[in-house]
């Protein structure tokens, strides 16, 4: 197996997970204590890595080109295919709309500062969508190469941030107990979405090929990289700012402002904003690549320039229009992102593996994830808990955070 592709695929998985939303994790986990946050992060990482391996178990018997659309149809029938399609399109279009809006706004402000001419916000969104769309349309190899550069710079910037924060950690902040039990319920769906890389798995399988040993490394290490970075980030951010202050923070900009004052360092804000830009770009690359390949498979498009162009239009034009003309619509949809991700990353892999194992009872030679039926039932139970927590937050039963 091409080790270069394996490494690149690990970074695509990690880059898709580590988005700008990582910066909001301290706010999302404010009030629940560092130790509780640590337990939830580890539990979610294990859960999402496990279901990623379940996806590999499903992929081993399919064509390398297969996406969730094909897999769901072959194993779960038309109804399963419709559920899979809805979950993918709802989640990915919502995320892409958010990324285009956020990235376009950042790009527009940079253009204004660079050429000192007022530019409409829509211009930044269009340019950003065209740039990312062009890279994705070229294929997974192009995404891999660009993602490597962005990911390397992103980690370099993050190291600088860690260097600035480390001397200001106060151990007492890390030992604090949760302020309110309801906040733990509210934090679960937000932390869960921080490991949402499953939509990129079919693209990675197509890129690497049906090589289960290599793909297992890709999934485990690719998911472990975000976990390590999240743990470091939570240690530093929750160690520098106490829970009471974090709980009252109104948003990311205020959080950055508070830490900048504590450090008395203007560089911190600069580094964080650079990281946010890069994280948004790598996440957008991974998510839109997954959506592009999903649509190409669903619409039976090939790999010719014309087919790629048409698929790119269908991938990027709808979220671009939503980001420009209906911003409140996709913001509202993002409130249900955790529910769509539960369907995509937990319920569908379990359903497909359950059906595949039932169909292949005589075939014991293929790759099979450990745990059996009890593990699959636990995954479904966890998914139900996450959906319940998300609905409780949306209905105001538990505090809204983040």
Q: Dihedral, CA atoms, 203, 207, 213, 217, nearest 10 degrees?
A: -70
Q: pLDDT value at position 301? A: 87
**pLDDT above 70: residue 171:** yes
**What is the average per-residue pLDDT within 80-89?**
93
Question: Tell me: the pLDDT tens digits for 177-189?
Answer: 777 778 889 889 9
**What is the average per-residue pLDDT within 55-81?**
93
Average pLDDT, the chain: 88
**pLDDT above 80: residue 266:** no
**pLDDT above 90: residue 280:** no
Which position has the higher pLDDT, 68 or 365?
Answer: 68
Give the Cα separation of 213 and 3 in Å (integer). Answer: 12
Residue 67 — left, alpha, or beta (φ > 0 → left; ψ -120 to 50 → alpha)? beta
For the chain, the three-class secondary structure string (H helix, E strand, C coil) is: CCHHHHHHHHHHHHHHHCCHHHHHHHHHCCCCCHHHHHHHHHHHHHHHHHHHHHHHHHHCCCCCCCCHHHHHHHHHHHHHHHHHHHHHHHHHHHHHHHHHHHHHHHHHHHHHHHHCCCCCHHHHHHHHHHHHHHHHHHCHHHHHHHHHHHHHHHHHHHHHHHHHHHHHCCHHHHCCCCCCHHHHHHHHHHHHHCCCCHHHHHHHHHHHCCCHHHHHHHHHHHHHHHHHHHHHHHHHHHHHCCHHHHHCCCCHHHHHHHHHHHHCCHHHHHHHHHHHHHHHHHHHHHHHHHHHHHHHHHCCCCCCHHHHHHHHHHHHHHHHHHHHHCHHHHHHHHCCHHHHHHHHHHHHHHHHHHHHHHHCCCCCCCCCCCCHHHHHHHHHHHHHHHHHHHHHHHCCCCCCCC
Q: pLDDT value at position 374? A: 96
Question: Tell me: the pLDDT tens digits for 1-19?
Answer: 577 899 999 999 999 998 7
Only one residue has tokens 């993602």, namely 147
C-beta atoms surrounding 391 within 10 Å: 15
pLDDT category, 252, cuts 50, 70, 90? low
pLDDT category, 361, cuts 50, 70, 90? low
Q: pLDDT value at position 200? A: 92
* Cβ atoms of residues 236 and 34 within 8 Å: no
**pLDDT above 80: residue 363:** no
Question: Tell me: the pLDDT tens digits for 347-358?
Answer: 999 999 999 998
Which position has the higher pLDDT, 386 or 25?
Answer: 386
Separation in Å, CA 389 to CA 23, 207, 398: 22, 36, 8
**Predicted structure pTM score:** 0.90
Encoded tokens for 38? 């640590």
**pLDDT above 60: residue 397:** yes
Q: pLDDT value at position 402? A: 52
Cα 252–286–70 angle (5° rounding)? 135
Q: pLDDT value at position 118? A: 75
Chosen CATH of 3-394 out of 3.40.228.10, 1.20.1740.10, 2.60.40.420, 3.50.50.60 = 1.20.1740.10
**What is the average per-residue pLDDT within 260-275?**
81
């Amino acid at each position: 197996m091409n080790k270069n592709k394996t490494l690149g695929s690990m970074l695509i998985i990690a880059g898709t997970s580590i988005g700008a939303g990582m910066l909001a994790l301290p706010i999302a986990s404010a009030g629940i204590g560092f130790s509780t946050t640590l337990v939830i992060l580890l539990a979610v990482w294990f859960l999402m890595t496990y279901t990623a391996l379940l996806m590999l178990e499903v992929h081993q018997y399919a064509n390398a080109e297969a996406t969730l659309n094909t897999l769901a149809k072959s194993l779960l029938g038309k109804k399963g295919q419709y559920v899979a399609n809805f979950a993918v399109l709802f989640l990915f279009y919502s995320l892409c709309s958010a990324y285009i809006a956020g990235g376009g706004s950042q790009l527009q402000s940079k253009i204004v500062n660079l050429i000192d001419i007022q530019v409409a916000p829509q211009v930044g969104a269009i340019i950003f969508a065209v740039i990312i769309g062009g890279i994705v349309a070229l294929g997974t190899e192009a995404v891999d190469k660009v993602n490597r550069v962005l990911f390397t710079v992103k980690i370099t910037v993050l190291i600088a941030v860690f260097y600035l924060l480390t001397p200001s950690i106060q151990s007492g902040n890390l030992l604090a107990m949760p302020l309110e039990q309801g906040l733990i319920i509210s934090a679960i769906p937000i932390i869960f979405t921080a490991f949402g890389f499953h939509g990129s798995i079919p693209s990675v399988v197509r890129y690497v090929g049906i090589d289960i040993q290599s793909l297992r490394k890709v999934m485990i290490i690719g998911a472990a990289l975000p976990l390590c970075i999240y743990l470091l980030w939570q240690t530093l951010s929750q160690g520098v700012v106490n829970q009471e202050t974090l709980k009252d923070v109104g948003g990311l900009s205020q959080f950055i402002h508070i830490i900048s004052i504590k450090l008395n360092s203007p560089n911190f804000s600069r580094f964080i904003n650079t990281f946010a830009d890069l994280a948004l770009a790598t996440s957008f690359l991974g998510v839109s690549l997954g959506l592009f390949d999903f649509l190409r498979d669903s619409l039976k498009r090939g790999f010719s320039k014309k087919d790629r162009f048409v698929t790119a239009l269908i991938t990027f034009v709808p979220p671009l229009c939503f980001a420009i003309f209906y911003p409140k619509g996709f913001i509202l949809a993002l409130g249900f992102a955790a529910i769509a991700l539960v369907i995509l990353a937990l319920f569908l892999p379990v359903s497909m593996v359950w059906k595949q194992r039932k169909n292949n009872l005589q075939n014991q030679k293929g790759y099979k994830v450990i745990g059996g039926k009890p593990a699959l039932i636990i995954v479904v139970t966890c998914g139900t808990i996450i959906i319940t927590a998300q609905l409780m937050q949306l209905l105001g039963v538990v505090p809204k955070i983040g």
